Homo-oligomer: A and B are copies of this chain.
Amino acid sequence: MDRRLSVLRAIVDEFVRSGEPVGSKAIATKHVLGVSSATIRNDMAALEDEGYITAPHTSAGRIPTDKGYRLFVDQLSSVKPLSIAERSAIETFLNQAVDLDDIMVRTTKLLAQLTQQVAVVQYPSLQLTSVRHVELVGLPNRKVMVVVISDTGRVEQRITEVAHEMGEVSLDELRQKLNGLIAGALFVDVPTKLGDLAKSLPAEQRANAVAIVACLLETLVERPEEKIVVSGTSNIAKMGQEQIRTLAPLLEALEENVVLLKLLGEVNSDNLTVKIGHENSIAQLSDAAVVSTNYGTQSQAIARLGVVGSTHMNYENNMAAVAAVASYVGRIVTEG
């Protein structure tokens, strides 16, 4: 039945716009389907039987269920591209960024702005990037600062203490050795590549080198948490006031990076992923929907980004925005 789908689409449309349950009459007048409200009532009864919509109470209209949204979204196969104006706005805004931090912040702001939802952007994963350069800086008191620069522009630094003072010369030497070994290598490969570095060194340098390498490995690998940026929290408050009850757990969840990463991480086979209501595994967010996608090059995803909001968000717009922003960020970050 083709008209049934149109009715569902109309219900979602209306509900997203008004936030209130929509009745048969409203659909008959506002959406041109060429049938009367009675017919639509029949269709709605059928849709309700199949579990796509539900009535909050007897004398109210219907609202889509998670299953209904799901069907609606699946129907939205091809993502409608943004307007040229929007695209160029995105591009110029992101191009003004001066460094990786700036790119990340600008991206979240942009997404939040475009979707009027809460935007979440994950930093390029350390696991999937490679080392561009390692820098060692001697500090007073036998301290050495280890700085790692990734090919995405991410800079990680850590300070460690060594057994005995190192001169500029020995630091230079070690730096060159390290860079020779691991410059260009993937972060995950670094441990193996550095495995037997120590043995190749004269005994008196070995202790220091071991300490520094340990620090380096810690910086690269033993930091399981991925960094993320969130923006647009205030958009939550703009949503309907009935949902403000749902707001507290959402805000709390947003402060838990782990939760957010989990949310973003649940990927379908498809890249652009939409998780609706209970589909996402965090129970407190059963009223929330997540639109997320990878970014990076075509061949290699670097990290993910997306928006989280109420289940009755404007999926069409938001999916388009997420996809568009992801493509630009991917390009900018990988170009370096």
Contacts and interface: CB of A to CB of B under 8 A. Distances in A.
Interface in A121-155: 132-133, 135, 137, 139, 145, 147, 149, 153, 155
A286 interface: no
Given A139-B132, A237-B247, A155 B159 contact: no
Contacts of A99: 156-159
A147 B132 contact: no
A2 interface: no
Given A147-B135, A155-B157, A233 B248 contact: no
A204 interface: no
B139 A145 contact: no
A155 B238 CA distance: 37
A161 to B, nearest CB: 12
Contacts of A156: 99
Interface in A277-336: 336
Interface string A150-191: 000101111100000000000000000000000000000000
A122 to B, nearest CB: 16
B132 A135 contact: no
Interface stretch (A6-14, A64-72, A249-257): A249-257
Contacts of A158: 98-99
A237 B255 contact: no
A329 B249 CA distance: 30
A120 to B, nearest CB: 14
A244 interface: yes
Nearest to A231: B255
A147 B150 CA distance: 13
A274 interface: no
Contacts of A233: 233, 251, 254-255
A137 B155 CA distance: 12
A235 to B, nearest CB: 9
Nearest to A98: B158
A212 interface: no
Contacts of A251: 233-234, 236-237
Contacts of A247: 237
Contact of A149 (B132, B145, B153, B232): B145
Interface of A: 98-99, 132-133, 135, 137, 139, 145, 147, 149, 153, 155-159, 231-234, 236-238, 244, 247-248, 251-252, 254-255, 336
25 contacts: A98-B158, A99-B157, A99-B158, A132-B139, A133-B137, A133-B145, A135-B135, A135-B147, A137-B149, A145-B149, A147-B147, A147-B155, A149-B157, A153-B157, A153-B159, A155-B157, A231-B255, A233-B251, A233-B254, A234-B251, A234-B254, A234-B255, A236-B251, A237-B252, A244-B244
